[in-house]
Amino acid sequence: MITVIRDVEVYSPEYLGKKNVVVVGNKFEGIYDEINIPSDFIEIKVIEGKGKLMFPGFIDAHVHILGGGGESGFSSRTPEIKFTDLTKAGITTAVGCLGTDNVCRDAKALVAKAKSLDVEGITTYCYTGSYSIPVKTVTESIKEDLMMIDKYIGVGEIAISDNRSSQPTYEQFLDVIAQARVAGLLSGKAGVVNIHVGSGKRKLDMIFRVLKETEIPATQLMPTHVNRNTELFEQGIELVKQGGYIDLTTSSDPNFLEEGELSASEGLKRALDTGINMNNITFTSDGNGSMPKFDENGKLIGLGICSVSSLYNEVKRAIKEQNVPIEIAVKVITSNVADLLRLGNKGRIISRKDADFVLVDKDDLSITDVYAKGEALIEEGRIIKKGIFE
């Protein structure tokens, strides 16, 4: 099957101008200024791109695909994600993780859910482990999980500075990072450690200690929820200055905002204004995780659920309300994530990469079309493909 997206403004995520993009099978074949489409050749599908912008398919590197939560008992467990929840949000690649509960939800079930989403039509990966240290693995170790199980590309989400964490010592925390680092080198994977950072007073202290006292590069760490308060965000800016990455969470409940909490779009604008390396900032949704609110004594006082739709919504807000350039805003859910997680076939509209792309209306930036590996999932706002049980 050959598909041509004609006369569309392409963000690769760098702006390429109005182009004609050719997809052959599941890969981008090329990007052309002009193209002649033969009428007597094999079947060619033509998508009119006039009035639309073309982005790489979105990557959400922190999704509770099995559901999450449980902080208010068994009835507060959030549900598994549906295939179309992801595709309607423009997400063509998702990384699944466990959260607080690693008893009733486990690593094997996580991999099984990831595989089911693959069959349905997107690309998935996973982190081994959960909030807790020691890490519960499928095999005998973190190293073996990453080296022998294709789906695993890192560890997480490991919780620090949070009343729900296992309160690991620095030595325990460092050991997990060191194992992930070596496993990544041996397997050719990222070996990134996704780190849930709570609102505790220690903030990123252990991360800075790792950078100060060891040879492990800052790019081995992916602290998330860094926009949960101003002080934590400022530490995150310092981490980027030292070569690290920070991840801003797009899901938030306006009824349960923490003091000083920033939306991801506001955080992106503040980061841009500081002049730091914008390639080292990512957005994730925390999709289908719970949004608990605790008082100063650690008592649960409210509970919501995170949505994957927030991922692109915060990118839109960054563009339309914060005046962040489109190229920079789109990078945080495409190329920046692909680079950090070493997903070589994802995150860019370039020849020979996977044909994952999203078309949006040029005026209001609403999603109109979603393609994954060259296959139409949404066309002109109409769902083409659903999950097996949808």
Catalytic residues: 286
Report the distance separating Cα 372 and Cα 57, nearest Å: 7
- Beta strands 300-305 and 290-294 are antiparallel
Burial (0-12, 13-18, 19+ Cβ within 10 Å), 270: middle
Q: At what angle do helices 264-274 and 230-241 cross, to 10 degrees?
A: 40
Cα angle 58, 67, 382 (rounded to 5 degrees) comes to 45
Cα angle 362, 364, 369 (rounded to 5 degrees) comes to 65
Residue 72's CB is within 10 A of a number of other CB atoms, namely: 13
Report the distance separating Cα 309 and Cα 238, nearest Å: 29
Burial (0-12, 13-18, 19+ Cβ within 10 Å), 36: exposed
- Residue length of the chain: 390
